[in-house]
Structure 1
């Protein structure tokens, strides 16, 4: 439908999204992302995603204060990889998850470094049980150490 509207020159309006922080609260103020990285464009048809070339491309984003990473579908793993690699390279800014995400995967997104979540959710807050469903994790991921091995 949106492709047909674009062909007719009509504007396509996305569903309204709300931005939540890592605590499941509506983010009152936050830094707007300077860039949106689409894994499809970033990696293209490359099957090996962590190469010297991809590291060099990611380093170009390290001075940004906020970056959005696009999820084409909930089951896509490359956005997780991009977030984790940015954090491993020392990225300190905000990471926004945008696109096909839902509140049930927020805890997984946080484990790889996402700080903000753009959801088409009607809730004013997200329950703690969804944001942090486990008291600790057996596996250490990224820079967030949440439990014991």
Structure 2
């Protein structure tokens, strides 16, 4: 088995991600690997939403996207502090976090993992099933199906 040098943990700030953070922190501590914690911020894109009431209302798309990114950065900092830098959960030393901009989160997560040369992608799942899964979809499932990099999931 090859050693782990670079880990990518993607979070949506859900309870599933919170639970999966323990696996990511443990892997990082045991392997000494660098841990990259990311959040894929889904931006508003006019071509996706077309002439909806939202787009027609004159909302400033650029300012709204800037707000989405700023709020995501704040939430990511809080998540990292709570789950990776607290004394009660154990501090992860070699950690980097950042928000990536995304229209399709699963594609952006895989692209980021490839960009940093990740040995594994770690994510939480919501554990949805049935109609809820059909309607909401699953980013974790899409990552698992599409990624050339091994994926570790933890059900929330």
Same fold (TM over 0.5): no
Higher helix proportion (structure 1 or 2): 2
Higher strand proportion (structure 1 or 2): 2
Indicate the structure whose relative CO is greater, using CA pairs within 8 Å and at least 6 residues apart: 2
TM-score (norm 2): 0.30
